[in-house]
Structure 1
């Protein structure tokens, strides 16, 4: 548990706190929380293009659907 008023690193913050920080940052920068998260993931993966991360997520979703269909056939 964290003490009230004690700063917590967003990396180790409980989910509600991290979500609140993301929303606050998005509001302050005039972007959506989704865009903030995409950029953070891109930076984490050493990519600065959030669209590349979104594209990767779409490809992963497609692959997951294909694997699910393959499992049903087997």
Structure 2
């Protein structure tokens, strides 16, 4: 799936905002000075990884059924 420039910027701002929110709520990130872009990037990476794995599982199931 390919994104255009507007969608990419929107997703980057969204994950940055979510990362900022998570940092304010979870004290361990503040204690170790983990920046919001790192938290948002890890969240984005985990979402992308889980989405790709679900697609792979779906493709394998389609072969069996």
Please tell me the TM-score bracket, short chain as reference.
0.3 to 0.5
- Higher share in helix: 2
Question: Which structure has the larger Rg over C-alpha atoms?
Answer: 1
Greater RCO, 1 or 2 (C-alpha within 8 Å, sep 6+): 2
* TM score, norm. by length of structure 1: 0.42
